[in-house]
Copies of this chain bind each other. A is one copy, B any other.
Amino acid sequence: MITPELLTKEAFAPFGEVLEATPDTAIEINSGFTTRFHQLAAVDADRAAISVFSGRRRPMEISMLECHPYGSQAFYPLGGGPWLAVVAAKPKPEACRAFMCGANQGLQYSRGTWHHPLLILEDTQDFLVIERLDPESNLEEVFFDEPVQMSV
Chain A interface residues toward B at CB < 8 A:
19, 21, 29-43, 45, 47-58, 74, 76-79, 104, 106, 108, 117-118, 126, 128-130, 133
Contacts and interface: CB of A to CB of B under 8 A. Distances in A.
B74 A50 contact: yes
Contact of A50 (B19, B49, B57, B58): B19
B40 A43 contact: no
A49 B41 contact: yes
A75 to B, nearest CB: 11
A132 to B, nearest CB: 10
- Classify the interface of chain A: helix, strand, loop or mixed: strand
6 contacts: A30-B118, A34-B55, A36-B129, A37-B52, A39-B50, A39-B51
Contacts of A79: 78-79
A45 B39 CA distance: 14
A38 B51 contact: yes
A108 to B, nearest CB: 7
A28 to B, nearest CB: 10
A54 to B, nearest CB: 4
A59 to B, nearest CB: 9
Nearest to A77: B78
Contacts of A133: 39, 42
B39 A53 contact: no
A37 B53 contact: yes
